[in-house]
Chains A and B, each alone.
Chain A
């Protein structure tokens, strides 16, 4: 794949990728964009071996997912929910509080459940595709989705009660 073709693909897919990472980063736009850039550079470096089979987005999401997990592992600390509550940023996407409840709720989920939920509900992937992207079994994805959905609903209910 040439650089021009790669950039053309990225221009088409970047919004979906950034949206996915923004949800994984619980609304932290700067972090999400940094991860997106890292993931795209990794994709560019390995795009020589990529054979276009019409699944560029899934391939990109797989790289982004792994980049996110590596980033999480490198932080080696869990951010508290209280910290999330005081989340205020100068950037447009996260300072507009319309997404705040969802991001706060997503923050309570472990990274793998968060990824599965985001891919399923935000990006519209089915279980088989999520299993391919996250390199897990379909059963594991089903469990992550079921657990994540319950936790998310509970958390959203709590957020509503508080507000």
Chain B
């Protein structure tokens, strides 16, 4: 496509020149500093959150292991729960009642620990916000 000479000349003649380049760069540098600060803050928050998640996971696993140990240490010939019904699947459930109870227990504990940590975090965040407002 050919350029329209008149338009091209008009645009070139009216090409803007800025006298405030230094101010513009100073303002940009300030913004970039702010962006860096926020980025670092976010990265630190994510790192903290990951650490908390790992902690919760480890605590959950340990608690689960303790629960399994406890369940397995009880007399093996007595099932943990029975249904008093002679149906195939319920009998099978009663047979593996220890494993089922231990798994359920450790799952519950993991979820519980995660929920406690997230609640504590929320409370801290709220407290910080309140202090910031004050």
Taking Cβ atoms with an 8 Å cutoff, the residues of A that contact B are 3, 7, 10-11, 14-15, 18-19, 22, 33, 36-37, 40-41, 44-45, 92-93, 98-99, 102, 117-118, 120-122, 127, 142, 145-146, 149, 152-153, 156
Identify which of B12, B17, B27, B35 contacts A44 (C-beta below 8 A).
B35
Taking Cβ atoms with an 8 Å cutoff, the residues of B that contact A are 1, 3-4, 6-8, 10-12, 14-21, 24-25, 27-29, 31-32, 35-36
Complex-state Cα separation, A124 to B84, whole angstroms: 87
B11 touches A149 (CB 8 A): no
Identify which of B1, B6, B12 contacts A145 (C-beta below 8 A).
B1
Chain A interface mostly: helix
- Closest chain-A Cβ to B116's Cβ sits at a distance in Å of 35
A41: B residues at CB distance < 8 A: 28, 31-32, 35
Complex-state Cα separation, A145 to B25, whole angstroms: 33
A153: B residues at CB distance < 8 A: 4, 6-7
What 9 A-B pairs have minimum CB-CB distances, sorted nearest first?
A121-B11, A122-B11, A19-B16, A99-B14, A102-B14, A121-B8, A22-B16, A121-B7, A93-B16
